[in-house]
Structure 1
Amino acid sequence: MGKGRMVSASAPPAPREVPSDEKWEENEGPPREAKWWYSTFHTVTAMVGAGVLSLPYAMAYLGWGPGTLVMVLSWCITLNTMWQMIQLHECVPGTRFDRYYHLGRHAFGPRLGPWIVLPQQLIVQIGCDIVYMVTGGKCLKKFMEIACMSCTRIKQSYWIIMFGGIHFFLSQLPNFNAVSAVSFAAAVMSLSYSTIAWVGSLGKGRAETVSYAYKMTNGPTDYMFRVFNALGQISFAYAGHAVVLEIQATIPSTPERPSKVPMWKGAVWAYFINAICYFPVALIGYWAFGQDVPDNVLVALERPAWLIAAANLMVVIHVIGSYQVYAMPVFDLLEKTMVKKMNFRNGFPLRLVVRSSYVAFTLFIGVTFPFFGDLLGFFGGFGFAPTSYFLPSIIWLRIMKPKKFSLNWFINWICIIVGVFIMVASTIGGLRNIVADSSTYQFYS
């Protein structure tokens, strides 16, 4: 990789002049006070989320060879595309693209750019928050059932509502820097519960009846859709790109030390932590339980009870932070739209109404469709594959214009082809599985 460089590119052409309406006004931007390690734990919080616990389940449909290959390929591709986005943050001298759609507007034009980038980014951010509502509620329920065996059992929907209630308060924090402590705690929790997941699986040992045959339970057609969904579950695990520019926007930048230097340092450490979380959980979890592993590997671990309870509580703490990391850019967009387009006055009343409404919306969807694995696959394909796998490569080709048939050009096209395939396949698989599972599900149970 070298010092902040993933793939060599030919010298880019002189950048075009950025129209005034495309520039991010400095006095409206986020506070630029963050250090390089802020980018590490914000990125870890954004990436190492609930999706890590479903990786053994994805392996059950893909098998040892294809599953490992997809994991390694996804790690390499998304590290490359994250490097590209970090480099593009200040690709025009004197201008910082602090939002994903700002970069898209520069690449595709002021009219087309937002329509290409913004919907995908919102799908990722809102989709993550919906999944984290479900995950937080389920893990809170599991924690209480283990910690208090004699307590009266209550509906899963109520646990999701209780988890959502926390965010009505946390959503009033003003910006990324204000949630730094929450994000740091979430990053520590993600590393902790991932370690518990794979150490617990290793300690439990391989089940006597373990089978590594492909998980084909309802015929080849159903299996094909489940494989597609598994690809989406893996792509869901690489979700940090949707907020990487917003994270980089909090880092100061000077001509002597541009923000891409500390941001890339933080991103490399984040990907290192990502690797030591993802690969042991996926491989050891699948080794221990085979095709019978559930869509949340913690559910399969029952002893020691106190450790499994602690792991579930760690997941709850982590997704509290992750929810806020993904929600902050949405809050920012909604509030600026209300102020600029509808002439609302900026302040606490607007923040209270807008952010509470958003939390209520994600809570309602999470309570209505609590299909953890299916949601991961659907959102992983529909939103995460574009923003993490191939959209950065398309933007890179348009802005940097590497020489045709060069190594850089080929790498970008490989990212695009792989990403488009994952997007199409996992979106179809996830949607089909949501429809199939909802047909037998008792809503609000």
Structure 2
Amino acid sequence: MEHKSDEKAKELNDWLPITNSRTAKWWYSAFHNVTAMVGAGVLGLPYAMSQLGWGPGVAVMVLSWIITLYTLWQMVEMHEMVPGKRFDRYHELGQHAFGEKLGLWIVVPQQLMVEVGVNIVYMISGGNCLKKFHDTVCSDCKDIKTTYFIIIFASVHFILSHLPSFNSIAGVSLAAAVMSLSYSTIAWVASAHKGVQPDVDYGPTASTTTGRVFHFFGALGDVAFAFAGHNVVLEIQSSIPSTPERPSKKPMWKGVIVAYIVVALCYFPVALIGYWVFGNKVEDNVLLSLEKPRWLVAAANLFVVIHVIGSYQVFAMPVFDMVELFFVTKMHFEPSRILRFCIRTFYVAPLRHLVSHQQTKKIQLILDRKLGMHCAWCCSDDSMSNWWVEADDITSQGLQILLLAAYG
């Protein structure tokens, strides 16, 4: 009986997207981690620096890089800390730490909020950047609503979401990682080429202590959001083969080191050069401060679109795994291609509807702000809580909570 149960569990693992392919190389880990971590939020780092100032800004950036690398190392080590067992999913590690039921209740809601929340952000950002690309290359064309660009972006995921496993999205993830390095390079090289502006000022923008404090904490949040991706680390490592002689943590850690070098090459030049050139007048998306050349700004926006396509898939894959596991083990569905097709299609479609809905438009700027796409809030000297201007709206409240989960 126990043998049959083990066989069934193995068959299920061979079908689920996180564990059905364990043939990844160390470089898969590198570009999956780059794709998960380096978001379009890198373009907002100069703005975060402008709120922190040179000393605190550099210190926060360096500490964030070191601390997140250390915590990621901890997760890599915990993947196989129990001999003969792999914690392939975040909730499995939670169950080991807190117990079967409590572990699920602690981990699963938070992980779903983070991953679904990030997918919502990426869908909106992808649509917005696609529109910016269109408007830049065809300024005389008829204006097209952002909703249609979001639909175009979502249609790509109706296809890519049916790829079976992490290893099958490796090409998409690699393209996304290359794009993140590309648009980051465009941002800092174009800024350096423009040179320090004549009226540059590195002083605080707020004239009151209250304003400075809120700007400071907002900037801390922007930097923290930029160093994301830990919630998919175990799932990425699960795709790497492991033996007693060569555990998966060795190639995984090698990939993580490469990924963090790329992160440093993306983040530090953009943050420091962007702030050095524009000072406290830098926009929350440094590309908006550049304005010209138009073709370069258009290319950067297109690169962001390609990047968030890959990031969407990396964050969606653990959700697919979780939902498919639930339907098979709890709802007693047979593992099949039809089940997989239905689950993944019905995941993408409601998200597309949500981000295109009229009620949701009120908080699109708030969501985009976390990726450095638009300026959604600003603590003026007279008001400390402009970020919550839509807080009375039920839909807005729910999505603000969702955003805070992704933000953490």
Shared fold per TM-score greater than 0.5? yes
The aligned residue for residue 68 of structure 1 is 58
2-side partners of 1:269 and 1:365: how far apart?
36
Q: Which residue of 1 aligns with 2:350?
A: 361
Is residue 36–residue 262 contact of structure 1 (8 Å, CA) maintained in 2?
yes
Q: How does 1:263-342 map to 2 (within 5 A)?
A: 263-342=252-331
Picking from 208, 222, 226, the partner of 1:233 is: 222
Tell me the equivalent position of 1:394. Answer: none
304-313 vs 178-187, greater mean Cα deviation:
304-313
SS of alignment partner, residue 342 of structure 1: coil
Residues 138, 62 of structure 1: alpha-carbon distance in 2 compared, 3 angstrom cutoff: same
What corresponds to 2:67 in structure 1? 77
Aligned length: 367
1:350 alignment partner AA:
L
Alignment partner, residue 417 of structure 1: none
Is contact 1:42-1:184 (8 Å) kept? yes
Instruction: Tell me which amino acid in the other structure corresponds to 1:267.
Output: V
Name the Cα RMSD after superposition.
Answer: 2.6
**Is 1:245 matched up with 2:243?**
no
User: Who is 2:93 aligned against?
Assistant: 103
Give unmatched runs, 5+ long, in structure 1. Answer: 1-20, 379-430
The Cα of 1:435 is off from its aligned counterpart by 2.3
Aligned position for 1:113: 103
Q: What is the identity percentage for the equivalent residue pairs of Structure 1 and Structure 2? A: 58
Q: 1:436 aligns to what? A: 389
Q: CA deviation at 1:25?
A: 4.3
1:365-419 deviations in Å (ceiling 9; x for gaps): 43423225675289xxxxxxxxxxxxxxxxxxxxxxxxxxxxxxxxxxxxxxxxx
Output the CA distance in 1 between the equivalents of 2:262 and 2:131.
Answer: 28
- Decide whether aligned partners of structure 1 residues 150 and 191 sit closer, same or farther in structure 2, where only a CA change above 3 A counts: same
Q: Which aligned pairs between 1:24-39 and structure 2 lie closer than 5 A?
A: 25-27=9-11, 28=13, 29-39=19-29
Cα distance in structure 1, aligned partners of 2:220 and 2:94: 26
Q: Deviations over 1:213-271 (max 9, x none)?
A: 22328x65455334323222211112121111101000001111110000000000000
- What is the rounded CA distance, in whole Å, between the counterparts of 1:198 and 1:439 in structure 2? 39
Residue identity opposite 1:149 in structure 2 = S
Matched, 1:130 2:120: yes
Looking at structure 1, the residues matched to 365 and 195 of structure 2 have their Cα atoms a distance apart, in angstroms, of 28
Identify the match of residue 198 of structure 1 among 178, 188, 194: 188
Contact 1:58 1:230 in 2 (8 A): yes
Q: Distance in 1 between matches of 2:316 and 2:59?
A: 32
Contact map agreement 1:60 1:214 (CA 8 A) in 2: yes
Decide whether the 8 Å contact of 1:196 with 1:311 is kept in 2: yes
| SS of alignment partner, residue 346 of structure 1 | coil
CA–CA distance in 2 between the matches of 1:372 and 1:138?
A: 13
CA contact (8 A) 2:125 2:368 kept: no
Query: Are the structure 2 counterparts of residues 61 and 366 from structure 1 closer, same or farther at C-alpha, using a change threshold of 3 Å?
Result: farther
Structure 2 match to 1:259: 248
Unaligned runs of 5+ in 2: 14-18, 373-383, 397-408
SS in 2 for 1:233: helix
Alignment correspondent of 2:36: 46
Contact 1:229 1:377 in 2 (8 A): no
Q: TM-score, structure 1 length as denominator?
A: 0.77
Q: Match of 2:245, as an amino acid? A: E
Following superposition, the deviation at residue 69 of structure 1 comes to 1.1
Whole-Å Cα distance in 1 between the matches of residues 350 and 390 of structure 2?
22
The one-letter amino acid paired with 1:203 is H
Q: Which residue, out of 128, 141, 144, partners 1:151? A: 141
CA contact 1:137–1:161 (8 Å) conserved in 2: yes
Q: 1:138 to 1:438 in 2, by over 3 A?
A: farther
In structure 2, C-alpha distance between the alignment counterparts of 1:208 and 1:344, rounded to whole Å: 66
TM-score (norm 2): 0.84
